[in-house]
């Protein structure tokens, strides 16, 4: 049997057409149910990113066999298995998405978003699909599929134009669950010069044949986050914004082929995880600071990880150079059954505003992995074109 091999550019064109076809189907469905009584709006985004790794070969890596053969490797997108190697590639970070919203009245609307990624082999995924009820100017209720609000940029992490880097720092932005199916309630209030926004949410998520797990395991795995409960709180005033988040859920990893739960380092097949974090962002005249700290506490069955990043930049007209440092570190109460990993990254990025809706970016990252090597030391260089429409 002959197998058709596509170039990265051909794959991106295929992904773009697939997103368009899926979006047209969603639009047709939404318009059909609206019976011409609703208004329809749409928007889209795309990131075309090319990059490669370079440097001395990494020895004794512990990534899975799928990623162990290149001389160097850099995990750019943990959730979707986007990995750079010494060969120039568009796959790890390139994506295109379309979002449509159908407004039925002043109170009711429906939203759907599809995203295609080259890291997923040009596959197209339904990332958002929810119904919104605006009960009042203060309260909004939603039910359906949404982005799991783990981080400050979670809601816009696919939209490269919305942040200063080529990609969000993967030392902190990347886990084995991205979305959830459930409900949420959002409350907004103005407190003098402060703007407050709080969100309560609950649901579940199952990731089948997890791309995240494929980085570490040779066998396909499913990952379940059940009984997700959480809240986040955002406060903003002039040049200062901060966000707090807290999430609890049950966790389970399952062998995709057999359907049997994996035995975790604790000896159990299921455990509870606690996630919390804080982000502090500053925009003072031409200066900008982006910082975030996050903890994933799975210490009752696996490990506890702490991640942070801080970036400082300055706008010079259409140019924004930025220096960013980030880190990821694990500890475990089960050293006989699990080897914790640690690494740090320094990045230098430059953003150039092409138009009010598009930007060019350039970035160099230097990752140092150890003492327990996972993917190994790596340097990566990347350029991107980000656009919203």
- Looking at the predicted structure, is the pLDDT value of residue 43 above 70? yes
Give residue-wise pLDDT tens across range 150-189: 999 999 999 999 999 999 999 999 899 999 999 999 999 9
* 5 against 60, higher pLDDT: 60
Which domains are seen in the chain, by residue range?
44-90+160-388 (2.40.160.10)
The pLDDT value given to residue 354: 98
The pLDDT value given to residue 94: 98
- Looking at the predicted structure, is the pLDDT value of residue 205 above 60? yes
The pLDDT value given to residue 122: 76
Query: Token pair of 239, please?
Result: 């040049």
HEC letters along the chain: CCCCCCCHHHHHHHHHHHHHHHHHHHHHHHHHHHCCCCEEEEEEEEEEEEEEEECCCCCCCCCCCCCCCCCCCEEEECCCCEEECCCCECCCCCEEEEEEEEECCCCEEEEEEEEEEHHHCCEEEEEEEEEEEECCCCEEEEEEEEECCCCCCHHHCCCHHHCCCCCCCCCCCCCCCCEEEEEEEEEEEEECCEEEEEEEEEEEEEECCCHHHHCCCCCCEEEEEEEEEEEEEEEEECCEEEEEEEEEEEEEEEECCCCCECCCCCCCCCEEEEEEEEEEEEEECCEEEEEEEEEEECCCCCCEEEEEEEEEEECECCEEEEEEEEEEEEECCCCCCCCCCEEEEEEEEEEEEEECCEEEEEEEEEEEECCCCCCCCEEEEEEEEEEEC
Q: What is the CA 290 to chain-centroid distance, rounded?
A: 16
Give residue-wise pLDDT tens across range 331-382: 999 999 999 999 999 999 999 999 999 999 999 999 999 999 999 999 999 9
* 248 against 17, higher pLDDT: 248
φ, ψ dihedrals at 106, nearest 5°:
-65, -15
Give residue-wise pLDDT tens across range 282-331: 999 999 999 999 999 999 999 999 999 999 999 999 999 999 999 999 99
The mean pLDDT of 56-70, rounded to a whole number, is 94
The pLDDT value given to residue 170: 97
* pLDDT > 70 fraction of the chain, expressed in percent and rounded: 90
- Looking at the predicted structure, is the pLDDT value of residue 84 above 80? yes
> What is the band of 38 on the pLDDT scale with cuts at 50, 70, 90?
confident
- Looking at the predicted structure, is the pLDDT value of residue 16 above 70? no
* pLDDT > 90 fraction of the chain, expressed in percent and rounded: 88
> What is the band of 59 on the pLDDT scale with cuts at 50, 70, 90?
confident
The mean pLDDT of 48-60, rounded to a whole number, is 95
Q: Is the pTM of the predicted complex or chain greater than 0.75?
A: yes
- Looking at the predicted structure, is the pLDDT value of residue 35 above 60? no
φ, ψ dihedrals at 9, nearest 5°:
-65, -40
Short-list 272, 267, 269, CA closest to 334: 267
User: From CA 172, how far away is CA 278, in angstroms rounded?
Assistant: 12
The pLDDT value given to residue 123: 82
The pLDDT value given to residue 114: 97
pLDDT, the chain, mean: 92
């Amino acid at each position: 049997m002959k197998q058709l091999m596509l170039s990265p550019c051909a794959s991106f064109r295929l992904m773009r057409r697939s997103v368009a076809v899926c979006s047209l189907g969603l639009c047709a469905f939404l318009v059909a149910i609206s019976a011409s009584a609703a208004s329809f709006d749409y928007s889209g985004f795309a990131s075309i990113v090319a990059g490669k790794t370079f440097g001395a070969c990494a020895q004794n890596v512990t990534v899975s066999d799928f990623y162990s053969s290149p001389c160097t490797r850099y995990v750019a997108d943990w959730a979707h298995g986007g990995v750079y190697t010494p060969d120039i590639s568009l796959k790890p970070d390139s994506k295109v998405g379309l979002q449509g919203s159908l407004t039925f009245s002043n109170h009711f609307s429906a939203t759907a978003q599809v995203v295609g990624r080259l890291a997923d082999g040009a596959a197209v995924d339904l990332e958002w699909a929810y119904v919104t009820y605006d009960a009042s100017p203060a309260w909004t209720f939603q039910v359906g599929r949404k982005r799991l609000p783990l981080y400050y940029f979670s809601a816009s992490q696919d939209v490269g134009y919305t942040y200063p880097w080529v990609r969000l720092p993967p030392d902190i932005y990347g886990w084995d669950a991205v979305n959830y199916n459930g409900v949420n309630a959002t409350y907004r209030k103005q407190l003098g010069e402060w703007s407050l926004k709080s969100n309560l949410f609950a649901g579940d998520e199952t990731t089948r044949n997890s791309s995240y797990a494929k980085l570490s395991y040779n066998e396909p795995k499913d990952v379940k986050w059940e009984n997700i409960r959480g809240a986040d709180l955002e406060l903003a005033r002039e040049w200062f914004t901060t966000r707090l988040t807290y999430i609890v859920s049950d966790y389970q990893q399952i062998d995709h082929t057999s359907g049997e739960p994996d035995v975790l380092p604790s000896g159990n097949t299921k455990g509870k995880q606690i996630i919390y974090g804080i982000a502090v962002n500053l925009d003072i005249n031409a200066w900008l600071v982006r910082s975030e700290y996050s903890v994933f506490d799975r210490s009752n069955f696996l490990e506890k990880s702490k991640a942070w990043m801080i970036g400082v930049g300055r706008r010079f007209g259409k140019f924004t150079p930025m220096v960013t440092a980030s880190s990821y570190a694990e500890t475990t109460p089960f050293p006989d059954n699990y080897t914790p990993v640690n690494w740090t990254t320094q990045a230098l990025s430059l953003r150039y505003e092409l138009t009010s809706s598009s930007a060019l970016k350039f970035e160099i990252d230097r990752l140092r992995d150890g003492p327990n090597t996972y993917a190994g030391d790596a340097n990566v260089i990347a350029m991107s074109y980000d656009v919203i429409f």
